[in-house]
Homo-oligomer: A and B are copies of this chain.
Amino acid sequence: MAKARQDGSDNDAAQRRVQMADIARLAGVSTATVSRALNHSPLVSEETRRRILELAASLKYSINIGAQNLRLKQNRTISVLIPFDRKIHQNLTDPFLLAMLGSLADALTEQGFDMLFSRIATDELGAAAAAPFDSGRVVGIILVGQWGRHQQLNELAARKVPIVVWGAQLPQQLYCCVGSDNVSGGMLATQHLLEQGRRRIAFFGDIELPEPAQRYRGYCAALEKHGIAVDPRLQVSTPFLPIGGSAAVETLEARAISYDAVFACSDLLAMTAIDSLRAHGKRVPDDVAVVGYDDIDQSAYFHPRLTTIRQPIGAAGRALVAALLALIDGTPAASVELPTQLIVRASAGEERAAPA
């Protein structure tokens, strides 16, 4: 097994990594001077600095960040955690996560921070999530999705672990949360379907989880506003996984109730649902209109093109990072709800006119 010596010195012919003392010796100065020169201190003569910089460049020397961090008691690394369910440890597959990861990478880079990326089992969201922080590996944690681990997250926050979570705001929440406005997202989607004349709208999403739960609240509110009773048989709890959409369609079919629309809690669910609906001989949107959530790239060229609720992904990354950096600075960071937007495409569109 790899020992991972920094200089790869398991190799017989390994050359020692060049360090500050080498530069100092070659330049005929002390390491203090080298340090100053490399850190653009004004306390070095122009001539000395030039000589040192040249030497360093020619030897491809670059300051050992580990040692520097230790000495300075600083660190510019953030842990980004994407949870997975241990029972079904499967490929990372929802494109929304990729977009989020990219957005976070950009926002962190912009602020001069590095990203330590790992997947983590949802049942370890307590202590294990904080491990890289406790060991001084990172100065803060960004968690993508709260996954019903509200209590554990509260405990971390109470312990002053700097953590920001992508998810839904909940009562008695001690940790900082950034997410989209799920209630109004759910309302927008449902309202749109109602305006298209749909009356039997199914809801696909695990309402045990905070985000789907809030979207469901928006869904219920929209129905009630239109004087339509919420039919619990139209709600199907299904996981955020590729099989989720088809599983939900099967469940719904098994219940043998009529429905003319689906609001799915992610585009991934919407897409697999549409695939299953097609297999059941139902046309989208003619027989069943479908609205998704996220507005991942693929929604624009899926067939039929997906009507969906857009989450502002670029803003999400920036907001998460900004909140975390504030926390790290010791400033209490308020939770953030980002606006959502209805994107109308073919899967539930303008095509249909008045109520059926």
A-side residues, CB < 8 A to B, are 1-15, 17, 60-67, 69-70, 73-77, 80, 91-95, 97-99, 101-103, 105-106, 109, 111, 113-119, 130-132, 134-137, 139, 159-160, 162, 242, 245-246, 271-272, 274-275, 278, 297-298, 300-303, 313-314, 325-330
- A62 B101 Cβ-Cβ under 8 A: no
Contacts of A2 in B (CB 8 A): 111, 325-326, 328-329
Asked if residues B95 and A131 are in contact (CB atoms below 8 Å), the reply is no
Complex formed: what's the CA distance from A75 to B136 in Å?
14
Check A8–B139 contact: CB distance below 8 A. Answer: yes
In the complex, residue of chain B having the shortest beta-carbon distance to the beta carbon of A84: B102
- The 28 listed contacts between A and B (C-beta, < 8 Å) are A2-B326, A3-B74, A4-B325, A5-B328, A6-B74, A8-B327, A12-B330, A13-B330, A15-B160, A60-B130, A60-B159, A63-B135, A65-B135, A65-B136, A67-B136, A70-B70, A91-B297, A91-B314, A93-B297, A94-B98, A95-B298, A105-B118, A105-B119, A106-B119, A117-B117, A271-B298, A274-B301, A274-B303
Residue of B nearest to A322 (CB): B2
A64 adjacent to B135 (CB under 8 Å) = yes
Q: Bound complex: CA of A114 vs CA of B118, how far in Å?
A: 7
Interface residue SS majority, chain A: mixed
For A7, list chain B residues within 8 Å (CB). Answer: 73
- Give the top 10 A-B pairs by smallest Cβ distance, nearest first: A11-B330, A92-B102, A275-B301, A98-B98, A2-B325, A62-B134, A117-B117, A64-B136, A62-B135, A303-B303
Pairwise interchain contact B66-A136, C-beta atoms closer than 8 A: yes
Contacts of A75 in B (CB 8 A): 4, 6, 66
Question: Which of these, B4, B61, B93, B135, contacts A99 with CB under 8 Å?
Answer: B93
**Chain B nearest Cβ from A190, distance in angstroms:** 24
| A137 lies within 8 A of B66 (CB) | yes
Look across to chain B and name the residue whose beta carbon is closest to the beta carbon of A321.
B2
- Give the CA-CA distance A69 to B275 in the complex, in Å: 51
Query: In the assembled complex, which residues on chain B have CB atoms less than 8 Å from the CB atom of A135?
Result: 62-65
8 Å CB contact of A70 from B66, B105, B132, B330 = B66
The residue of chain B having its C-beta at the shortest distance from the C-beta of A65 within the complex is B135
Please state if A102 and B95 are interface contacts (CB–CB under 8 Å): no
Rounded to whole angstroms, the CA-CA distance of A119 and B60 in the bound complex is: 22
- A64 cross-chain contacts in B, Cβ below 8 A: 135-136
Closest to A12 in B: B330
Residues of the B chain whose Cβ atoms lie less than 8 Å from the Cβ of A314: 91
| Bound CA–CA A302/B115 (angstroms) | 33
A76 → chain B, closest Cβ, in Å? Answer: 5
Partner of A101, one of B65, B92, B326: B92
Alpha-carbon separation in the docked complex, A330 to B61 (Å): 21
